Structure 1
Amino acid sequence: MSMTLMLIAHLSDLHLYTERSETGQAPANIRYIVEGIVSDLLGLQPQPDLVVISGDLADGGTEEDYLLIRQLLAPLTMPIMAVPGNHDRREAMRLGLGDRLTGLQEGKFLHSRVDADGVTLLGLDSVIVGQPQGALCSKRLDWLEGELRKTQPLTFLVMHHPPFMTGNPHWDAYSLIEGRERFRQIIDASPKRILCGHIHQPLHIQWGLHYGAIAGSPAFQYNLVPGSKAAPAENQVAYSYPLHHCQPDGSVLVHLRHIT
């Protein structure tokens, strides 16, 4: 298997807002933090070929929020692929960002598909309207099953809610609560790389055949202690975002890019 080198930056949980933070936790200066991330991305040499955002771009999802997001992401010259999170709003997100997001599909759900030389990325909308938990209903899983019939040798799946267990009972109850079993059956024919958000702390897992990664959040992060049963506490920890460097032989190197 021979592929072109590809560099993918994985961001998540920006929680940008203009007037009101839905969570009440996103800091007032979040727009300036995101400006710093954009500046860091532009300073990379080489720059990423693609930026992936795994949900919660907004923290409430008003039309004004997505206009702000559009403005902050405007300096990025590379394609951007994004899926919604539980604090996004589908209609406002499509209206504000639809022509800026690469591979966005038509229809009710904000699914995406991006194909490069040797790499396919499929973005899944796992949102339950009005709920923090995620779901993949039969219609969404049918779409995934159909798209997987033709993919490149290296396949990334992007979704907001993790389909795997984090080990913390608080967060696991708020992850993907519907469709997990069929999702696993559909993807198990070959290894996939699953990029998620929602948990607000970096986490990596080998899930059967599959590599799974959760990105942190520049807005606010938690400190999940392995084996702990306690509800995770918000923690002032350094923020980093991962860079997935796809190699010609099909291997992937994951680098963490730390932001002050």
Structure 2
Amino acid sequence: MLIAHLSDLHLYTRRSETGQARADIRCVVEQIVSDLLSLEPRPDLVVISGDLADGGTDEDYRLIRQLLAPLPMPIMAVPGNHDRREAMRHILGERLAGLQAGRFLHSRVDVGGVTLLGLDSVIVGKPQGALCSERLDWLARELEKAEPLTFLIMHHPPFMTGNPHWDAYSLIEGQERFMAIIDASPKRILCGHIHQPLHIHWGAHYGAIAGSPAFQYHLVPGSTAAPTESQVAYSYPLHHCQPDGSVLVHLRHVT
């Protein structure tokens, strides 16, 4: 079982909401899709941990649907703070694997002895994330029938990165109950939002933040400096799930 983790594509058609997404991001995403198609074997699943769009217009999601169309494998995605739930569901809903009904864009995929749960952590109009009681109730119910190897996909990291500027914009509500719900067995938590690759052991759990092909940061561990953009190489992680339940993580570099 091979899972490719993408995040923070920040695709746009007219205007970059952040003002930071590179002007040629469409071409960059085309290169990433081409790279995914070149892999042998190909990933069984692609997960995208939010901010597919950089503004969330219908035209943005039509572009995203067009660029992802060549991928034959299922795509699972959660929204980020620059996405728009209604437009994302309306335009991409049929393409996204395991998308659940309801006001939140939660997802569930069970494949190859692995469970993947996508959590909508968005606060509308805010860069920070939250997991309210309704969202956490959903997670608790889904975990009752999950495989021992379970991935949780969410945009906002529930763990601290160590940088005060980033941590103020991560998950600011629901961390304690989230940790209590998942603590029955180790989970693998895949996030985005921070635009710098990071890996962590968080209690019994593995956490990972993916980088962004649109713009990235590059901080020294332990630094308290404000994040600034940096021209660093882009890579996306490939999670290779083994029959014994272990997972190998490979970084795939895209020029």
Q: TM-score range by the shorter chain?
A: over 0.9
Q: CA deviation digits over 1:200-243, x for unaligned, max 9?
A: 00000000000000000000000121111111111000000000
Match for residue 87 of structure 1 among 79, 82, 87? 82
- 1:126 equivalenced with 2:121 (yes/no): yes
Match of 2:156 in 1: 161
Match for residue 140 of structure 2 among 134, 140, 145? 145
1:1-260 matched pairs, under 5 angstroms: 6-260=1-255
Q: Secondary structure at the match of 1:211?
A: strand
- Structure 2 gap segments, 5+ residues each: none
Match of 1:3 in 2: none
The Cα shift of 1:173 comes to 0.2
Percent identity, aligned pairs only?
85
Give the counterpart letter for 1:46 in structure 2: P
Structure 2 CA distance for aligned equivalents of residues 35 and 58 of structure 1: 15
Q: State the TM-score, normalized to the length of structure 1.
A: 0.98
Q: State the TM-score, normalized to the length of structure 2.
A: 1.00
8 Å Cα contact 2:4-2:236 kept in structure 1: yes
Structure 2 CA distance for aligned equivalents of residues 235 and 36 of structure 1: 20
Give the counterpart letter for 1:27 in structure 2: R
Q: CA RMSD in A?
A: 0.4
Q: CA deviation digits over 1:23-64, x for unaligned, max 9?
A: 000011000000000000000000000000000000000000
Q: Secondary structure at the match of 1:258?
A: strand
Which of structure 1's runs of 4+ aligned residues deviate more than 2 A? none
